[in-house]
Amino acid sequence: MNLRRALLFILDPNLTIALFGSSSAVQFQHDNILLGEIQADIGNVEVSWIAPSQMKISGRRVSVINMIGLHETALDLDALTSQLVSENKMISFIFVVRLGQLTDADKMGIEWLQRVFGDRVLQFVMILFTYVSEEESDSIIDDLKKNSALERLLKKCGGRYHTCSKNMTKQSEMRDLMSRVELLFIENNQQCYTKEMYNTALRKREDVQDRTCQSDETTIIEKNMDCTSTTERHGWFLIIIPSFA
């Protein structure tokens, strides 16, 4: 470990990472090092999804925010995500994808992240490919060569990826993942995803929605005017023939 990374351990003893992606790419169980066994909060399911869990991985205290499967819901998350970025300094968003099974839901996951958190979030994203068998873990290079969609996805995320078992029980894999997360933090000049970045993304999203609404209203008005004009034009051709009976 170089001096800069050693200082990182001292100055920032707690890492906060957020995981998102398909729930089919993860196996929740009691010995899952990164996520543990999923605990549903019956009173407030939405909040339970983004409440950080405190984990200890390779001697590091890690706050893990579980957003897996969140993009597949129909919940209005603006209030929750605003609270999330206000209370947590996230240094990485981990996009969990099942190795060899890139689905439309996976593609929607990264699109959802960009839509909610803005394009700048991509500099904090790392893909985590999960596998079931050891043989699968060696197929990532072949998958990249065969799957252009996967290659584009990886390029969008800066080429950053890691592999681990679906049940996330191997200490060595989790230790290597944390090292990659720390390296990403250093590459980003020790910058976290901030509330200001989120607010900028939110304003852009609201501007797009406003322009869309204005465009829709203009279209409706133009159609109404066109209908009125058409009625008036047709009125000029109305001929009344008197009866001479």
pLDDT tens track for 33-69: 888 776 544 345 455 566 788 888 877 788 899 888 8
- The answer to whether position 151 is within a domain reads yes
β partners of residue 65: 18
Do 101 and 53 belong to one domain? yes
Per-residue pLDDT of 124-140, as tens digits, reads: 999 999 998 877 777 77
The confidence band for 28, taking pLDDT boundaries of 50, 70 and 90, is: confident
Do 90 and 102 belong to one domain? yes
> What is the pLDDT at residue 6?
45
C-alpha separations of 125 from 40, 119, 161, 231 in Å: 26, 11, 9, 57
Within 10 angstroms of residue 112's Cβ, the number of other Cβ atoms is 18
> What is the pLDDT at residue 221?
64
The residues, any chain, with a CB within 8 Å of residue 213's CB and separated by 6 or more, are none
> What is the pLDDT at residue 195?
92
Average pLDDT of the chain is: 78
Within 10 angstroms of residue 168's Cβ, the number of other Cβ atoms is 22
> What is the pLDDT at residue 209?
77
Per-residue pLDDT of 193-232, as tens digits, reads: 999 999 999 999 888 878 777 765 666 666 666 655 555 5
Do 116 and 21 belong to one domain? yes
Do 207 and 136 belong to one domain? no
Strand intervals (E) in the chain:
14-21, 53-57, 60-68, 92-98, 125-131, 161-165
- The answer to whether position 24 is within a domain reads yes
Do 180 and 203 belong to one domain? no
pLDDT at residue 176 greater than cutoff 90: yes
* 3-class SS of residue 90: strand
Do 123 and 65 belong to one domain? yes
- The answer to whether position 242 is within a domain reads no
For residue 77, what is the domain's CATH number?
Answer: 3.40.50.300
Q: Quote the domain boundaries for residue 183.
A: 3-193
pLDDT at residue 7 greater than cutoff 50: no
The count of structural domains within the chain is: 2
> What is the pLDDT at residue 24?
86
* 3-class SS of residue 62: strand
Do 33 and 135 belong to one domain? yes
Tokens of 79: 């209030």
pLDDT at residue 10 greater than cutoff 50: no
pLDDT at residue 183 greater than cutoff 60: yes
Radius of gyration of the chain (CA): 26
